[in-house]
Amino acid sequence: MESHGIPVTDLEPLRGGFWSSAFAYRIESREFVVRFAGDRAGFEADRTAMAFDGPDLPVPAVLDIGDAFDGAYAISMRHHGRLLETVRPEEASIAGPTIVRLLGALYSLPPAPGVPDAGHPERPAEEATRRRWLVTALVDDASGRTHGWRNTLSHDRKVDRLFRACQARVRELAEACPERRDVLHGDLLHGNVLISDDANRIAAVFSWKCSQRGDFLFDTAWCTFWGAFFPGIAAAEMCDRVLTAPWASQEPTALAGAPHRHHCYELQIGAAHLAWNAWVGDEAGLRWVAAHTAMLLERGPLAAGGTC
């Protein structure tokens, strides 16, 4: 490989994301991963995230970013582990505290330059609010990469009604959500986190293209929403664990209104993924997300007395 100037060995395709493909390889005793994508924005986000690296938040080092195949490539150090979503229910008592430590490490990060503020890096600071993002992220932006999903959803009356109901409820609940600036990963699970074989250590956190600043409970809601699809994550009961974590209770207002915030974020995630599955044409995924989101909408916030 030209970037190294010497031959590489053991080239191996890896499970890639929707927007990229990845390959592992070796140079002598060192192991690397090269990824290819249509542009370098996500790779630059990964390089920015290197500043977050720590014992409970290991971020692979990005060594090089460049142009290749009418797109971009990134070379990073390889980490080993299994995907977080492979955690089994019987491992929840070990994996749960491990994930809480990961979320706590994110929560403890200082304000981070280079991480989009509320998901709107292009807007003036006074307009880049988290409440605005929660609502506008559910609008089919003509300039967005996934433009066209709204028209597809509109052809299914049942799903369209569900989406509109979620959109209205998110708009209502967003007014009570705090304008926090915690660092969020924004896409935990789905092949972006490695955990050790014994589930007691996070081995790597990568793919930071969805990272932004906002309420730390959004990453918690991501785990609980998708936990319905990953039984081991569901068994870890992440919301209850986060609300009782020492790091979350140190700040007096950090957990104020947590059940309604958590409910808002779960509905926003559900509605956003109705849009995503419509855009990619995943009918099975659309039906699963619709069924789960409808249940959450009907259920409402969990245990409004304090736990979500």
CATH number of 9-77: 3.30.200.20
Q: Averaged over 89-109, what is the pLDDT?
A: 97
pTM of the complete model? 0.91
3-state SS, residue 143: coil
At residue 5, the pLDDT reads 67
3-state SS, residue 76: strand
d(CA 308, CA 296): 12
Q: Note every long-range contact of 2-10, with CB atoms under 8 Å and residues 24 or more positions apart, other chains counting.
A: 3/64, 3/66, 3/75, 8/32
Each residue's pLDDT tens digit, 237-252:
999 999 999 999 889 8
At residue 19, the pLDDT reads 75
Task: Give the domain 83-299 fold.
Answer: Aminoglycoside 3'-phosphotransferase; Chain: A, domain 2 (3.90.1200)
Q: Please state, rounded to an integer, the average pLDDT across all residues of the chain.
A: 91
Each residue's pLDDT tens digit, 179-194:
999 999 999 999 999 9
Ramachandran assignment for 27, one of left (phi > 0), alpha (psi -120 to 50 degrees), beta (any other) = beta
Residue of 186, 260, 270 whose CA lies nearest to 220: 186
Each residue's pLDDT tens digit, 101-142:
999 999 999 876 777 665 544 444 445 688 999 999 999 999
At residue 11, the pLDDT reads 81
d(CA 193, CA 98): 12
Q: Averaged over 129-158, what is the pLDDT?
A: 94
Ramachandran assignment for 257, one of left (phi > 0), alpha (psi -120 to 50 degrees), beta (any other) = left
Give alpha helix (H) positions in 113-156: 130-136, 149-154
Q: Report percent pLDDT > 70 for the chain.
A: 91
Each residue's pLDDT tens digit, 196-252:
999 999 999 999 999 999 999 999 999 999 999 999 999 999 999 999 999 998 898
At residue 126, the pLDDT reads 47
d(CA 123, CA 116): 10
Question: Domain limits of the chain?
Answer: 9-77, 83-299
2: confidence class by pLDDT, cuts 50, 70, 90: low
